[in-house]
């Protein structure tokens, strides 16, 4: 990996500013874990039977961004990015994907999510989570997506170490 260019979240600020900054920090963390790797290295899987790879994580997080921002706040029927049904696991199959394809989709979803968040008058903005059939707030969505990134960035640490050959070192 190259040097860490992430901007850390502020130590002071309002709730929205801090949630936004932590989300962007974790988004940047995922991108950083993939820096400097070839498509083949990004597709390298952890160990059988897992099919998890760094590229699969990027694809999965594109689905997470779409499912939790666009589908909740704009279009409950918006199609998923990588499957024709609500199948988050489909994104993990990056066997024929490229960095260019996966990152273009992920970055587009991130920008759409940022737009939706910026346009919301408050963190209390309600949206409809179609999978649950319930109303949720923008606050809850931002926190949920932040937790998704935190969990998956832990996987990305392990996957990057495997690619770099430093597991157990």
pTM of this structure: 0.89
Burial readout 113-129 (b: 16 or more C-beta within 10 A, e: otherwise) = bbebbeebeebebebeb
- pLDDT of the chain, 169 residues: tens digit per residue: 567 888 888 898 999 999 999 999 999 999 999 998 889 989 888 777 777 889 999 999 999 999 999 999 999 999 999 887 777 777 778 888 999 999 999 999 999 999 999 999 999 999 999 989 999 999 999 999 999 999 988 887 777 776 676 544 3
Please state, in angstroms and rounded to a whole number, the distance separating the CA atoms of residues 13 and 19.
10
């Amino acid at each position: 990996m190259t040097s860490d260019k992430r901007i850390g979240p502020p130590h002071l600020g309002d709730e929205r500013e801090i949630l936004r900054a932590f989300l962007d920090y974790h988004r940047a963390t995922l991108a950083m874990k993939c820096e400097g790797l070839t498509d083949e290295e990004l597709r390298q899987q952890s160990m059988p039977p897992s099919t998890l790879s760094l590229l699969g994580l990027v694809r999965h997080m594109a689905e997470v961004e779409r499912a939790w921002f666009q589908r909740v706040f704009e279009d409950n029927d918006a199609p998923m990015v990588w499957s024709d049904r609500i199948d988050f696991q489909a994104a993990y199959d990056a066997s024929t994907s490229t960095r260019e394809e996966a990152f273009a989709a992920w970055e587009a979803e991130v920008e759409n999510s940022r737009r939706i968040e910026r346009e919301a008058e408050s963190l209390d903005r309600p949206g409809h989570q179609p999978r649950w059939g319930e109303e949720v707030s923008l606050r809850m969505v931002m926190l949920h997506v932040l937790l998704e990134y935190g969990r998956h960035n832990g996987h990305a640490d392990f996957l990057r170490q495997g690619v770099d050959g430093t597991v157990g070192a």
